[in-house]
Amino acid sequence: MAQRSRIGEIVLEAEALTRPSAELEADRNSAIADLLHENRFIPKGAPEGPYTLHLGLNGGRLVFDIRRADGSPIGAVILAMGPFRGLIKDYLMLVGAHHAAVADGQHARIQAIDMGRRGLHNEGAELLLRRLNGKIDIDFDTARRLFTLICVLHQRLTH
């Protein structure tokens, strides 16, 4: 069952819009690698996976375009971005602050910022779990990684 209820490939739909900062690029790469290594993803009423997830933003909405491994469409789940905006803004601010603290060698500040980032990741994951409830069954770790990717997509559109 585990191989059938998971994301096997992920595509960020806004890849060509802008290049993310080095920090966000590292977060993106880490989130994708961790997500593909281990995740739980079961779209309600969908055939068994693994799935290819095309994650993108369209008209102020978050789009989970779910496809079979061969690329044939299964369906889409679309969520308003409004509830995520404050968390994303704070997350992106902390990414910039982290980079500045690392550049300045401020180890105590780095630790405080990392704690804040973990807290924001947790809040973002909980929000995503609530918003996807009844549409897509995911676990907490999958939600955290998807929240990171949502932040990267949002940064690409705003910069």
Using 50, 70 and 90 to split pLDDT, how confident is the model at 34?
A: very high
Tokens standing for residue 90? 């704070």
What is the C-alpha separation between 3 and 124, in angstroms, rounded?
A: 26
pTM of the model: 0.88
pLDDT at 157 over 90: no
Q: Report the mean per-residue pLDDT for the chain.
A: 88
Specify the 3-state DSSP secondary structure of 92.
Answer: helix
Predicted local confidence at residue 18, as pLDDT: 57
**Stretch among 8-17, 35-44, 135-144 having the lowest mean pLDDT:** 8-17
Predicted local confidence at residue 158, as pLDDT: 46
DSSP class of 125: H
Predicted local confidence at residue 20, as pLDDT: 63
Tokens standing for residue 122? 């947790």
In sequence order, the 6+-apart residues with CB closer than 8 A to the CB of 129 are 138, 140, 143
pLDDT at 16 over 60: no
Question: Per-residue pLDDT tens for 67-112?
Answer: 998 999 999 999 999 999 999 999 888 888 888 888 888 888 888 8
Predicted local confidence at residue 41, as pLDDT: 96
Question: Per-residue pLDDT tens for 102-145?
Answer: 888 888 888 888 898 899 999 999 999 999 999 999 999 999 99
CA angle at residue 70 from 49 to 139, to 5 degrees? 30
